[in-house]
A and B are shown apart, each in its own frame.
Chain A
Amino acid sequence: MKIVLDHLTKRFPNRNKDGGFVTAVSDFTFEIPDGKLVGLLGPSGCGKSTMLNMICGLEVPSEGRIYFGEDDVTELPPENRGVGMVFQSYALYPHLTVMQNITFPLENLKGKDKLTKEQMKAKALEAARLVQIEQLMERKPSEMSGGQQQRVAIARALVKKPRVLLLDEPLSNLDARLRLQTREEIRRIQKETKITTVFVTHDQEEAMSISDLIVVMSAGVLQQIGKPQEVYDDPVNLFVAKFLGTPAINVFTGKIRNHRLFIGDEPVMHVQEDDREVYVGIRPEGFILDENGPFTCALNRVEVMGRDTSVVSTHPLCENVVVRSIISTEDKPDPDAQDVHFFLKPQKTLLFDRNTQERIYYHEVPEAL
């Protein structure tokens, strides 16, 4: 089931009771294709949970429409939309067993949809088998680990065979190892059921690793939609560039003079662009260690971690605390040297307007500096 969000806006009254509003989601328009796993990504307080609640039906949008396929579901209550929701806290009923938790949504069915006890049990077992908890059916939530509780919550959300599955920060309450395992699990379940799934996260790594599509938002405004790698390679603005990638992109203040890109007094690249003030974003993998390189940083230390060598240095115009560059292990920087010199890879060096922070798409002129 594809989901279409059409100019969706949500305003909340602010706390001062002066009739003012806080806009949590502003003019959001995008389409989630059928059967995809979509990560809604943004920093805390950017409105992504509000977004999810609106898709779910727990919040009514102030403006705009929501469509599931061709159906306008904007006014429908959650139970008539065919959504399953997994809450950040899991929201399992603590006094009920796993079986009772999973059958809870089924017991609400009335009229012609009403199920017998056996049918409910069978459906619950089917959902439990999907998330591999069928041996825990008689446990209470408090007798299970966080990961198991998470699975119960997913089973409960899936038991009614929803058209759309929504997950609010599904991994944030799990420890690091379980998080890796569970995100693969979510991917597998989504692949098996082919249910259109939207999950909210503030962890870009989580979103990048399992999503078919990621939607980056900031302060209620849609920033960019795309396949994870596309968004990473081609961010539309500085916010997206900074938000995606670990280690984070290195941002410098720079300028373009006479078709040359300067960081400080050093011309580092030739570009076909008129004179202007810019931010230069360089991905950690965008550095090539070379003694003749035009870009010089003061060396802090060299970290060798398995297949990567990470050069940590400082530069006065860098916005980050340190400049982090990842180079191949064949390059052996001298850890005692004062300075390191780099060439920059043009496709990993992104320019942004200093004022609007929008991306500047430039042509590099591959000639000697």
Chain B
Amino acid sequence: MNTRSLKPWLYLLPAILFLTAFMVYPLFDVFVYSVEEGYNFASQTYSGTGIYNYSYVLHDQYFLQAVKNTFILVIITVPLSTGIALLISLGLNSLPKLKDLYQTIFFLPYVTNTLAVGLVFMILFKKTPYSEGFVNLLIHFFGGESVDFIEGPYWAKMFVMCFYTVWIVLPFKILILTSALASVDQDLYKAAKVDGTSRLRIFYKITLPMISPMIFYLIITGFIGAFKAYSDVVAIFGVNLNAAGMNTIVGYVYDMLYGDSGGYPSFASAAALILFAIVLTITCINLLVSRKKVYYD
């Protein structure tokens, strides 16, 4: 091999080394763990190889609950947060005077610590012997029955979870969408106006296609982010998620490794690979759907 073809590889060497050590090897290791049956953490031995770990995880009530929770979270929050972000961005774009102020306000959650926000949400929603929580006070005010959002019925907890997730991801989406809207050539709008195009038609025929790559980007990253939800759930419902019935797939993986019932890297690896398969499938579907709908320059 001559020096000319060697040189690029030399430049890439640091990146390749790091990626191999911290990405490729662990991924491979996870796969290996997931097929080792009866793995013993203390003695680092296993009894055989096979798909038992997958079978166990797929039959585990807690895992199925985690999958259900995660899917509900994804299906509700991704479209909802993207839609709300789009509405807010459109609003921001059409009021130039207060745009800067509102943009700052909307961006605040992004720079606030997840756990701090979680605490605030607990204060808002939690029912204690001393206080009903702010939201319950509101419900009372409008003549409703108080609900325990943190330890109460499943739908109430799921509502808090979705509300929290939408709120926490909004700022980033608003930021992306306002800049996407601002970068649309203003002459296109003028041209449409000269032709008497209705506002609705301008939105569907010009604005939406022009910012479609950014919307698509937000949907893909939104799906992936929501599937990986964990720290937010802990912030609101504490570490014992299985007991609360609010575990997520990543939470399940963590519990299998380090939780009270932990010490099962094989089960954790199997669950992680199942999550990987789910995310990969959804992303591929997204890509296929977007090919027709998204306009790239």
Identify the A interface with B (CB < 8 A). 56-58, 77-80, 83-85, 87-91, 93-95, 104-105, 107-108, 142, 156, 160
Contacts and interface: CB of A to CB of B under 8 A. Distances in A.
B187 A89 contact: yes
B206 A58 contact: no
Contacts of A58: 190, 193-194
User: Which of B185, B191, B198 is most buried by chain A, counting CB atoms within 10 A of its CB?
Assistant: B191
Interface of B: 185, 187-188, 190-198, 201, 205-206, 209-210, 295, 297
A151 to B, nearest CB: 15
Contact of A57 (B194, B198, B206): B194
11 contacts: A57-B194, A58-B190, A78-B196, A83-B194, A85-B190, A93-B188, A93-B191, A94-B295, A95-B209, A107-B201, A108-B196
Given A78-B196, A89-B187, A105-B196, 6 more contacts: A77-B196, A79-B196, A80-B196, A87-B187, A87-B190, A95-B209
8 A-B pairs with the lowest CB-CB distances in the bound complex, closest first: A79-B196, A91-B187, A95-B295, A105-B195, A91-B191, A78-B194, A95-B209, A85-B194
Contact of A85 (B191, B197, B206, B210): B191
B195 A95 contact: no
Nearest to A77: B196
Contacts of A79: 193-196
B271 to A, nearest CB: 42
Name the residue among A57, A77, A85, A91 with the largest chain B CB count within 10 angstroms.
Answer: A91
A93 B206 contact: yes
Contacts of A77: 193, 196
A107 B205 CA distance: 11
B195 A87 contact: no
A80 B192 CA distance: 13
Residue of B194, B205, B295 ringed by the most chain A CB atoms within 10 A:
B194
A80 B194 CA distance: 9
A88 B188 CA distance: 11
Contacts of B195: 78-79, 104-105, 108, 160
Contacts of A88: 187
B192 to A, nearest CB: 8
A104 B196 CA distance: 10
Nearest to B187: A91
A89 B181 CA distance: 18
A146 to B, nearest CB: 15
A2 B190 CA distance: 24
Contacts, number: 59
B201 to A, nearest CB: 7
Nearest to B208: A95
A58 B295 CA distance: 28
A80 B195 CA distance: 9
Nearest to B188: A91
B197 to A, nearest CB: 5
A77 B190 CA distance: 12
A294 B252 CA distance: 102
Given A58-B190, A87-B190, A108 B210 contact: no
Of A56, A93, A156, chain B has the most CB atoms within 10 Å of the CB of: A93
Contacts of B197: 104, 108
Contacts of A85: 190-191, 194
A78 B195 CA distance: 7
B190 A91 contact: yes
Contacts of B187: 87-91
Nearest to A157: B194
A69 B161 CA distance: 65
Contacts of B192: 104
Contact of A87 (B191, B206, B209, B295): B191
A317 to B, nearest CB: 46
B297 A89 contact: no
A105 B202 CA distance: 12
Contacts of A160: 195
Interface centre among A57, A83, A108, A160 (most CB of B within 10 A): A108
A56 B194 contact: yes
Contacts of B209: 93, 95
Contacts of B206: 93
Nearest to B195: A105
Contacts of A108: 195-198, 201
A78 B193 contact: yes
Contacts of A90: 187
Contact of A91 (B185, B205, B295, B297): B185
Nearest to A88: B187
B293 to A, nearest CB: 11
Contacts of B295: 94-95
A244 B133 CA distance: 78
Contacts of B297: 94, 142
Given A94-B297, A108-B201, A89 B185 contact: yes
A111 to B, nearest CB: 12
Q: Which of B195, B197, B201, B295 has the most CB of A within 10 A?
A: B195
